[in-house]
Each structure stands twice: as structure tokens, then as C-alpha cells.
Amino acid sequence: MIEFPAIQTRLNAEEEQAILRVLREGKTWAAGPEGAAFEQEFAQFIGSEDAVALSNATAALETAAILTGLGPGDEVIIPAHTFVSSAVPFARTGATLKWADIDPKTRLISADTIAPLISARTRLLVIVHLYGLTADMDPILELAKQHGLVVVEDCAQAPGARYKGRRAGTLGDFGCFSFHSQKNITTLGEGGMLTVRDQETGRNARRLRWMGNWPFEGERAAYWKPAMGNIVEPAAGVWPHNFCLAEVNCAVGRLLIKRLDSINASRRRQAKRFHEALKAVPELVFQELPEGCEHVYHLMAARFDGGASNIQRDALIRLLFDKYEMKCIVQYWPLCRSELFGKFGLGAADVPETDRYFDNMISFPWWSEMGDELVDDLAGRVCAAMAELRKA
Ligand SMILES: Cc1ncc(COP(=O)(O)O)c(C=O)c1O
């Protein structure tokens, strides 16, 4: 059975050695030089003013939500079609979530789906570069500017992706990255990064990240007085968290960002081959790329438009699973339709394209460095299953 692997990119020998180096030679396994270097190198790679290593992308989204000072009475616009972590940190502040629909071609939030939801209470937009494709940011940033809105980019699925030459995570006020083992690159299972526009926000994020532990400023009579270190308020009115990432994770991350562009280029080659092979199946409609967007193909998903052939999406998934040993999945359950958001009174939404997409989408097994043979094999199974369904 071919199915989604729980690890998308395996480590090479050099990356394995980095783990051993930190274990054997590291002066610390937490909050040390690997973390500082990873942040600096990531900021340089992405092109952001600063970057703060955190335990995962959810922690990065939490940090962005907290530092923005959102609260009851504020409104946040967010796509209903995304992973749950994009939304919970903003809901937790007490702000009201307004669910935006997706564009039917890109399957991403757009200026057109955002604009009707803007009110005098809107404070923040969460832009999710889902599947590895950047949203069409220029018109979104123009709207944000007109209305004075904070823009948070959820780049969990789009590390290294570019929009008109700039990397995702440098376009809005905050960029939130994931290095979970199912992402394009991983820092050993868990990991995340927050990119920010200025050093002060970066400093506040670092103060928030480790329970407000922070050095005293200026000279002191003795290093242990009044205490070894200070405990500070990360930003006005903000309680701190523990969102730290360990040294061994950061050491691996430093090496993986050097490989990220080549991993993404190989995913793009895979995608091109897969799309070519599936031209024979017009029922599968893949994402369209707006001008200037570079995809990093975190996932390979299509909408199944079976109308003309009268074939149902579920029949294809079932046949692929039962006979062709290929386990496709359906994602993401529109958050407004989920139990969690319903319980908190956030179930109301007018998102017809989100519903249509979820009810008709199919996501194929996909990971880094699959190789031409395997990509052809997967496409061949889909073509064979469709031929069988057409005859039935
Ligand atoms: C779009 C999106 N946002 C956020 C996250 C959360 O990432 P993490 O697991 O690093 O917290 C994910 C993870 O799947 C995701 O897909």
C-alpha cells in the first residue's frame, strides 16, 4: 500500500553527524549557539529582518496572536480551508473569527474573499499559503494597508516558496513556519520559526518564548544579585510561555535550510511529471498558479470534477485503496464545520467554494525525492482506476 509517509524528508549522513556533534560536544542542549545560528541563517535565507526559533508553527502563530494584543471585540479574517493550528491561537485571544472562502482556482484565501468580511472591528488577516503555494499577496497587502490590518502569513506548508521573487514569510508582519516531520523540511519531528519585520518584535518574541527569563541590563555589583537573571514582561500586558526549541533540532535545521531550495526544486519536477501524466484524466483539476507564484508542492491535491463522466470522487478513492494499493486522503475539514469551532460559537460561515472543494478533493501520497519511477507508477494507478470506472 502506498500512503503518505509520516516523514517527508529523510536526513542525510551529514545531518545525522550534526546530531551526534551536539550530543557529544555541545555545552548545552537548550538555548545555545545552534539556536542563535539557526535563527540568523534562517532570517538570511528567507530575507526577513529577524527570525525566532520556536517549538513548532503553532507556537509561532500563538506568539503572533499574543504580540498583536488581540482580544474580545476584535475580528480576525482567516480561511476556513486550513489546518486547525492556523485558527486556534487567534480564537484563544477572545477575538471573533470571520471565515473567508477560497478562490476556486488557487484554493487559497484572496483579496476578493477577504474584502466583504472587513468591518470596523477587523484587526488581523491570517493568510495561509496552503499546499505550498503563496496566496496572491499584492492585492491582499493593499487591502491590509487601506484598513490598517496586521498580516500573519502561515507558511507552515510553504518554506522557501516565492511570491514575485520574495519568499513567503517576508510579505506580511509575521511569518510562521513548521519543521514537523510531515513538512518539506524537519528539525527532527517538531520545530518552528517566527519571522518578523523588526528587531523589537523579535526581542519580545524571545522574551515570551522562555517564560520571560531575560538578562539584566547594565552593570551589576555581583552577577547573582538581585538574581542570576531577570524575569520580565515580554511586551505590555503579555504573560510568557515556554515555546523553546532544543539545540539538536536547531543543528539539523541549519543544515536542512541549505538543502531546502534543491528539495523544493525536486518537488516541482515531481509535480510537473505527475500533472503531465494525469492530463489523460481531465476530471482532476489541480491548483492554478497566479502570476509570479512559485509552488513548493508540500501536498499534491486536486479537485475531482466528475460531472461529465458521472464518476464520484469517493468511487475513485475507494477503488484506488481496495484494488490499486494507494491510500489517498481528504483534507482539510472546513474549520467552521468542525465540532471544536461549533462549540465555541464559530460555526457560522458562508464559504461555498470551501465546501465544494472539501467535498470533492483528493490528496495523493506525496513526499520529497520520490523518483520518476514512483511518480509514474502512482499516476499509472490513477489512470488505470479511472479507466475502470469509466467502463463500469
Ligand atoms: C497550514 C498549517 N499551519 C500550521 C500548522 C502547525 O504546524 P506545527 O505542527 O509545526 O505546529 C500546520 C501543520 O500541519 C499546517 O499545515
For the chain, list the domains and their CATH numbers.
Answer: 13-260 (3.40.640.10), 261-391 (3.90.1150.10)
* Cβ < 6 A, ligand 1 pocket: 56-58, 82-83, 85-86, 128, 130, 154, 156-157, 178, 180, 192
| Nearest atom of ligand 1 to the alpha carbon of 59 | 11
241-258 residue pLDDT tens: 999 999 999 999 999 999
Pocket-testing residue among 153, 157, 241, ligand 1, by greatest number of atoms within 8 A of Cβ: 157
Alpha carbon distances (Å) from 373 to 94, 138, 293:
50, 39, 28
Pocket-testing residue among 85, 109, 186, 193, ligand 1, by greatest number of atoms within 8 A of Cβ: 85
Positive or negative, the CA dihedral 263, 268, 273, 277 is positive
CB 174 within 8 A of CB 274: no
Helix (H, G, I), strand (E, B) or coil at 88: helix
The partner residues of 255 in beta bridges, in order of sequence, read none
From the CA of 229, how far away is ligand 1's center (Å)? Answer: 33
DSSP per residue, 15-48: HHHHHHHHHHH-S-SBSSHHHHHHHHHHHHHHT-
Average per-residue pLDDT in the chain? 97
178-229 residue pLDDT tens: 999 999 999 999 999 999 999 999 999 999 999 999 999 999 999 999 999 9
CB 96 within 8 A of CB 75: yes
75-101 residue pLDDT tens: 999 999 999 999 999 999 999 999 999
From the CA of 322, how far away is ligand 1's center (Å)? Answer: 30
> Chain-centre distance of CA 261, in angstroms?
17
What is the band of 263 on the pLDDT scale with cuts at 50, 70, 90? Answer: very high
∠ CA(231), CA(233), CA(238), 5° rounding? 140
Residue 80 CA to residue 72 CA, distance in Å, equals 20
| Nearest atom of ligand 1 to the alpha carbon of 61 | 4
From the CA of 8, how far away is ligand 1's center (Å)? Answer: 14
Residue 262 CA to residue 65 CA, distance in Å, equals 32
pLDDT at 307: 80
pLDDT at 309: 85
Percent of the chain's residues with pLDDT above 70 = 100
Percent of the chain's residues with pLDDT above 90 = 98
83 is written with which cell numbers?
489546518
274-327 residue pLDDT tens: 999 999 999 999 999 998 999 999 999 999 998 878 999 999 999 999 999 999
Positive or negative, the CA dihedral 181, 187, 190, 192 is negative
DSSP E strands: which ranges in the chain? Answer: 50-54, 75-79, 96-100, 122-128, 150-154, 162-163, 166-167, 174-178, 192-196, 213-214, 230-231, 284-286, 293-294, 300-304, 361-364
pLDDT at 36: 98
Q: Which residues of 217-255 are buried (b: 16+ CB within 10 A; e: fewer)?
A: eeeeeeeeeeeeeeebebbeebebbebbbbbbbbbbbbb
pTM of the model: 0.98
DSSP per residue, 327-379: --B-----GGGSHHHHHTT------HHHHHHHHHEEEE---SS--HHHHHHHH
From the CA of 80, how far away is ligand 1's center (Å)? Answer: 14
19-52 residue pLDDT tens: 999 999 999 999 999 999 999 999 999 999 999 9
| Nearest atom of ligand 1 to the alpha carbon of 178 | 10
